[in-house]
Amino acid sequence: MTIKYKLNLITAIVVSFALIIIVLTFSKTIKDNTIIYQAQELNVLSQKLSIVIHETQKERGASAGFIGSGGKQFGDILPKQKVDTTKEYETLKKYIATLNLDSFPKELNSEITAFNSDMEKISQIRSQVDALSISLKDVVAYYTNMNTKILNIVSISAKLANTPELVKALSSYSNFLKSKERAGIERAVLSGTFAADKFGDGIFAKWITLVAEQDAFIDSYLSMATDSSKAFYEQKMNSPVVAEVNKMRDIARQKAIEGGFNIDSVAWFKTITQKINLLKEVDDELAKQNNLLLESVESKQKISALITLISYSLFAIAIFTIIFTVSKGVNKSVRSSLEKIECVSSTLDLTCEVIVEGKDEISQISRALHVMIVAFKESVYQAKDVSITTSQESKVLNDIVEELTKNGKFADIKISNINVLVTEVGNRLDAIEEASITVTEDLKKTFSVLDGFIDKLDSVVKAIEEGNVHQEDLVRKVSSLTEQAKNIKDVLAIISDIA
């Protein structure tokens, strides 16, 4: 594989990698834009669902009040509310028909199908409410389950979010709608309760739970909401209507056991409806802010994607230009170097110029090769001089060889004489060898005589040593006798002195 091919291959790999990065970035941009587009559509869907759920909440409250009062109250409110609910649902159906639901998560299709299925039963439920043939608990449960499916659809938009600010905004919006839904259930529950002037079995516990859930969802909403949406919510909740609702709540809580609230259920319905309408205004404001946020995120993503694509494109072009320029320079240097080296290799002309101008490694290699060729030329010249000198010296060596040959012949004659002399010396050495053998035998006999003499000497030495032992014993005995004689002499001297 030639260097040119390798450089072209590297260029192709780098450019291909840059193109892949650009394609992936472009693909991610399309995906992000698709998510934003779907989130925008779901946000519009959420707004329309919010309108529908607002109407179903009112219909639920009116139906509960109608059943709780035994049909005596809400007779004028309920029919109008049914018309409003149906009207908003038809508007919602038309918008859903414009959506390509296959491009959305399957979960969305499932929830919409379940919601439509519940709405198909609404005529039957309405008939039962008109005939007072359905319990308060069942009618509230029907609307609540249907509204739960609506809220599930709204929650899906938060799952599609791909930025932290979108997740927070859509999640807080979903929590707010859940709190608003609990407020709608509370409207229905207390409408029936005030109409009956007492809490039914388990209704008080359900109502307390609803209030707690409202507060929990509102706290969750406020924890993620923007400062502007918090301010808007607090402004709306400063209305006297909210204080009036809380006052009615307190009465319901205080007289929960004995009943007798003395509160008109229609008055409660209208009062809390005003509060819920305020919540609807907050709902609309949140939806508006979400629209603006989605547009802002979409704009930022488009700008970011455009900058990224331009940056990667410029980077790819710059890399390609740099590699192409470097490749062109390297190929030129390699080609020039190859031509100059072939001048030397093909003609064996050491005078060919092999230096390639430049500052790269190929130029350095050509200079090193030039130094090597110059050194080789000097070696050739030196070899030539050595060859001449060797030729001259070889003549001298030939003369020496001839002289050595003559001397060798003379040496052969001398060696012949030496061989004769060596033969004579050998004969004499044989005679000497025989004499040496005779002497050796005599020495062996002498050694035998000496061995016998040595044995006798050993016996004499032993006898002398034994005589010494006896002499030492005799000396000891004589010494003992001498001592005894001295003792006797001393004794006699004493006796003499005594005498």
For residue 139, give Cα distances in angstroms to 60, 63, 76, 145. 7, 7, 19, 10
Give kind and range of the element (H or E) at residue 315. helix 265-347
Whole-number pLDDT of residue 281: 95
Name the pLDDT band for 217 (thresholds 50, 70, 90).
very high
Concatenate the DSSP letters of all residues of 238-269 into one string.
Answer: TSHHHHHHHHHHHHHHHTTTT------HHHHH
Q: Under 8 Å CB-to-CB from 19, ≥6 apart: which residues?
A: 316
Whole-number pLDDT of residue 282: 94
Name the pLDDT band for 371 (thresholds 50, 70, 90).
low
pLDDT in tens, 403-449: 777 876 876 787 777 777 767 766 776 776 776 677 567 657 756 75
Report the percentage of the chain scoring pLDDT > 90: 34
End-to-end alpha carbon distance in the chain: 149
pLDDT in tens, 84-142: 999 999 999 999 999 888 888 888 889 899 999 999 999 999 999 999 999 988 999 99
Average pLDDT over residues 32-44: 79
Would the pTM count as exceeding 0.85? no
Which of 17-26, 353-362, 419-428 has the lowest average pLDDT? 353-362
Whole-number pLDDT of residue 321: 84
Whole-number pLDDT of residue 475: 65
Q: How far apart are CA 168 and CA 225, in angstroms?
A: 7
Q: How far apart are CA 349 and CA 158, in angstroms?
A: 82
The counts of H helices and E strands in the chain are: 11, 0
Q: How far apart are CA 75 and CA 132, in angstroms?
A: 12
CA angle at 63 for the pair 61 and 69, rounded to the nearest 5°: 100
Q: How far apart are CA 499 and CA 496, in angstroms?
A: 5
In the chain, where the domains are located: 3-317, 350-405, 408-449, 457-498
Maximum average pLDDT range among 145-154, 364-373, 437-446 = 145-154
Query: Is the backbone of residue 348 left (phi > 0), alpha (psi -120 to 50) or beta?
Result: left
Among the listed residues 181, 182, 158, 176, the one whose alpha carbon sits nearest the alpha carbon of residue 225: 176
Q: How far apart are CA 303 and CA 36, in angstroms?
A: 14
Look at 395 and 266; give whichever has higher pLDDT: 266
Name the pLDDT band for 344 (thresholds 50, 70, 90).
low
Name the pLDDT band for 373 (thresholds 50, 70, 90).
low
CA angle at 24 for the pair 19 and 25, rounded to the nearest 5°: 95
Average pLDDT over residues 175-184: 92
Token duo for residue 345: 């290799």
